[in-house]
Structure formats: C-alpha cells, structure tokens
Amino acid sequence: MQQAEMNQEEAVLASSLQNSQIIASLSGIRRGVEREFIRTTPQGDLSQKAHPKALGAALTHPYITTDFAEAQVELVTPAVTDKAETFGFLSSLHRFVADNLAEGEVIWSGSMPPVLPEDDKIAIANYGSSNAGRMKMLYREGLANRYGKRMQTISGIHYNFSLPDSFWQALHVHEKSTLGLDEFISDRYFHLIRNVMRHGWVIPYLFGASPAVDVSYLVGKAHSLNSLDKDTFYLPWATSLRLSNLGYTNDEQSRYPLSYNNKSDYLNGLCRILSLPSERYLQFGEGQQLNTSVLQLENELYGSVRPKIVSKDLRPLDALCRDGVKYIELRSVDNNPYLPVGLSESQSHFLDMFLTYCALAPSPELTSDEQHLIQQRQQLVATQGRKPGLLLPTLTGEQGLREMGLALLASMKPVAAMFDASMFDVSMLDVNLGANAYRQSLEIERAKFEESKLTPSAQILADMKSQQASYRQHILNLSRQHMIYHKAEPLDDHYNIQLNEIANDSLFTRRALEAEAEMSFDQFLNEKNTVHCGCD
C-alpha cells in the first residue's frame, strides 16, 4: 500500500474514533466464550470416567459438551451484549459442572494437559449411535490418526466477537463505501482478521499461560525443552507452548496457506483443501477418518482467528458463501490457571478493544511474504516472548517486541476512550474498574510490556521454581483451589433449574435421534462429505 493511501486510511480511522454513532454502537457488541478443560483424577491424571450423565448429552447440549476427548469438557456461553451476563453464566456453568463431577474429580485449569496415559487410554468423546454422533466420533478418529491424541488434549479459550449492525451501518456511511452493506460487512471482517494476524502476537505475550508441560505430553515428540525436574519440561522465555510448534499445529495445512484478503479468495482456498486428497492421509483406511482430504471438515482448519457464520442447516463453507461473515472466533487465548473460569472481565475488555481496533485500523492486503513473517513472529513470541531485547521480523526489518507492543497499545488508547464513553449506562459499568474500565484494562496490559514478570507465563515459572513444584503439582494445586471456589456457594436457583432442565432435554433429544429411522451411515457420510465449490 502506498504511503499516501495509508495516511488517508489513518485519517479515516482518526475521524471514525470521533463518530458519535460508531461510539454509541459499541454497547451492542455481542461476545461469547468457549472454554475447554480436562477432567482429572484427584491426583491430576486424565480421568477415565465417562462424561457425567448429570451434565446432559454432549451431542445435543447447547452449553456443556465435549471437545476431542471424553474427559475434555467444553463450556459455551451464548453470544450476548451484557458482559456481566456472559461471565455470570460462564461462572454458573463451572459451578454446575463442579457439582456434578464424580467424587474427587477436578477441573484442570491449565491449557497444556495433565498427566496423560498411553494413547489407548485416551478415549475419544462418545456421542452415541445416531448418524450425527457417529460422524463426530469418526471425525475425531481422523484427528487422532492425523495429529496424535496428545496434541488434541490441549485446551484453550475461544472468544467469539461480533460488532452490531448499527456499527457497520455507521462505518459504511462514514467511509462513503460503494459496496452493499452485506458485502461491506464481510469485507471488513476480513479486514479485521488480517489485522488480528498482524498484531495477534500480543495475545500470547500478554495472556500466554503455557510455558511448561508434563513429560507425558512429550512421548514420541522431538523437542529442545529444558528440564525443570523429572516430570516437567519448559522454555525459560516461553509464553505459550500451546501455540508453538510443539502445541496445536498442522504441518499439512501449512502447505496450503489461505488468503484472507477477501471472501472469494478465502472460500476458493478453503474449498480446495476440503476437496483435495492428501497423500499423507491416504494411508488411513476406511473407518479411520471422514475422508482423505487435507481437511476433513472446516473445523479442522487451525489458526489464531476464523471467520464464522450462524447456520445450523448449511455446512460452514456454503453458509459463508450465502450469508457472509457474521462474527469472528479468536482462538489464541490460553486458559489462565490463576483464574477460576480461565479469563477475566478485564482481559475481555482488552480483547474487545483489540478486535475493534483491528476493525478500524488500516489493513492492507496480506502478501505471502507478510504471512511468512506473521508465522515467524508467532513462533518467536510463543517460545521466546519474554526474552530481554527480543527482536521480531517485520516488513521493514527487525523491531523490538517491547517497542512494538507499547506502540500498538498507544494506538489503542483512543479506542479505549471510545469504549468508556459508550458505557453510559451505569448498569454496564465494570464493578471493579468503574467508569474508566477500558482505559484501566489497557494500562494493566501496557505494564506487562514494561515488566515481563507481570505476564502469566512468567508468574507460572516463577511460582513453580519458588515452590519447587512440578507442572503437575502447580496446576493441580490451583485447580483444587478453584474447585473449592466453585463449590463454596450454591448455584443460583434460576441457573440450577435451567441447567438441569437443559441437561434432561439434551438426553431426551439424543435418545430421540438414535430412535429415528435414518438413512445408512455410508449414505449420510457421503452427503456430508459433498463439497460445493464456486460462490460467485
């Protein structure tokens, strides 16, 4: 992008930050949280017990399900505008789960897994005998064969974020766009995604909480980690092993990088890897995966951020083609083991500001060279992010991480002021941070660039060393404290009745699905594996 064009976009950004309609619309942001965690034994080993029946059916429950493993719970909050409601519901889900786990079981609070058994003891999630359930299990068989079960037991937080129609309408008018509104919205979500990719290295630096791992995770893996004790391996400056090459990665996908420059290019690239057979996966026979393509399903696409749709009837590829992007899913947030629900409201404030900044700041198209630099930055920050004087590669040469981070957060100050100005309703104020909640949140994160010891990854390593505790011992101690917290107060009657009813309804729905006369599974699978390319 030419400098004159960039300056013009920066001028538009500056003026948009003063637009009263854009500011007012921020109170309409909808956000939802998905949190994954492992159920463990009292000693911190992966639980061998089935998903508790009292939690409902993982296949059909809208808020309490499982991820890859039977012992891997995923909690999902609905997307709402009231952040207090989001965190209240997330806390209630944790309490409900804690109350209904088997005696002594623990919610593992770290992103990297607890002590893992042999692979044949890591049970894939069970979804029953319906065609839908069998497909979900076969998909997970494919994941296990392709990437190994251990990698799949890594857990994290997904932050779902959508800007309201009033925001897009105001921005559409403000920028005098000639695109139709729906096309403009999808285009700007890809604009947002490109900036998340550019600046997303700040997420593992600020919130990465997985600098160490239990030795059982490393079985069969070549690595260069340091030994803290016989059971714990780590990197001294790491922020997030979860996001490193030792974590949740896919080498095969990296051979087919997607374009995020517009919806059409993205869909063409996605369609290609959904329909392109992979030589690497041809070795797995029938019944070991859904298909032999580079991706079995859209959900297999790894990355720090995804464009998302809202449709239960169409596969994501088709819904994105028909309806465009409806929200984004930020996938790079680690579980913070010091927090009872894995993240805080202040952290959510920062993510709201960061994602809104990414929607408004200039976002030129990504070249293959820049995408390569983005991947390099991600790995450097994940494995060496707190190293003093660390330099990160950019299109204009290497720059200091600290200086880049401080500059980015300085650019976000006007966005923080916008958010605080939008919180005019007293009921929406953060009870802990008050009327300047967003500016205070920004200052909390800015301090981490001044002092890396304030980051959760630094805190974890410092605590393990000072307490002479292994990764297993440290995370288990924190997890037990959170279990006491979750069980300390009885669940609110409203939530207790509601969640019990939903659990029972989900069990009924699963049984009804299994009792229905269905087409053969082969026919069902053939229909689900059909990929329609071509959107224009």
pLDDT at 429: 42
Cα 120 to chain centroid, rounded: 27
For the segment 102-115, the average pLDDT, to the nearest whole number, is 98
How confident is the model at residue 500, as a pLDDT? 98
d(CA 286, CA 455): 46
Q: What percent of the chain has pLDDT over 90?
A: 87
Whether residue 11 has pLDDT greater than 80: no
356: pLDDT strictly greater than 50: yes
Looking at residue 424, its pLDDT comes to: 57
Contacts of 99 (CB under 8 A, 6+ apart): 486, 487, 491
What is the pLDDT, as a whole number, of residue 536?
A: 60
The arrangement of strands across the sheet holding 226-229 comes to 212-214, 232-234, 226-229
pTM, whole model, 2 decimals? 0.95
Mean predicted confidence (pLDDT) in 95-106? 97
Residue among 468, 475, 462, 41 nearest 230 (CA): 468
Q: How confident is the model at residue 6 (pLDDT cuts 50, 70, 90)?
A: very low
pLDDT band at residue 464 under the 50/70/90 scheme: very high
Q: Of the given ranges (144-158, 306-320, 428-442, 487-501), which has the lowest mean pLDDT?
A: 428-442
* pLDDT mean over 354-372: 96
pLDDT tens digits for 274-326? 999 999 999 997 789 999 999 999 999 999 999 999 988 889 999 999 999 99
Tell how far CA 27 is from the center of its chain.
23
Tell me: pLDDT of 73 over 50.
yes
**CA dist 37 to 71, 86, 112, 167, 487, Å?**
8, 18, 9, 34, 17
User: Once rounded to an integer, what is the mean pLDDT over residues 43-59?
Assistant: 98
Q: What is the mean pLDDT of residues 172-185?
A: 95
pLDDT (0 to 100) of residue 8 = 53
Q: What is the mean pLDDT of the chain?
A: 94
* CA–CA distance, 237 with 383 (Å, rounded to integer): 6
pLDDT of residue 425: 47
What average pLDDT does this structure show over 77-100? 97
| The pLDDT of residue 306 | 97
Encode pLDDT of 408-451 as tens digits. Answer: 999 999 999 999 988 754 344 444 445 799 999 999 999 999 99
Sign of CA dihedral 259, 263, 264, 267: positive
What is the Cα–Cα distance from 413 to 410, expressed in whole angstroms?
5
pLDDT digits (tens, 9 = 90+) for 32-44: 999 999 999 999 9
Distance (Å, rounded) from C-alpha 59 to C-alpha 378? 34
Position 428 scores a pLDDT of: 44
Reference 174, options 15, 412, 357, 361; nearest CA is 15
Which residues are paired to 30 by β-bridges?
162
Name the region of 85 (left: φ>0; alpha: ψ -120 to 50; beta: rest): alpha
Most confident of 91-95, 247-251, 493-497: 91-95
Q: What pLDDT sits at residue 48?
A: 98
Residue 494, exposed/middle/buried by CB under 10 A (0-12, 13-18, 19+)?
Answer: exposed
Tell me the residue length of the chain.
536
By mean pLDDT, which of 12-16, 83-87, 328-332 is the weakest?
12-16
Among the four given CATH numbers 3.40.50.720, 1.10.40.50, 1.20.1250.20, 3.30.590.20, the one describing domain 3-528: 3.30.590.20
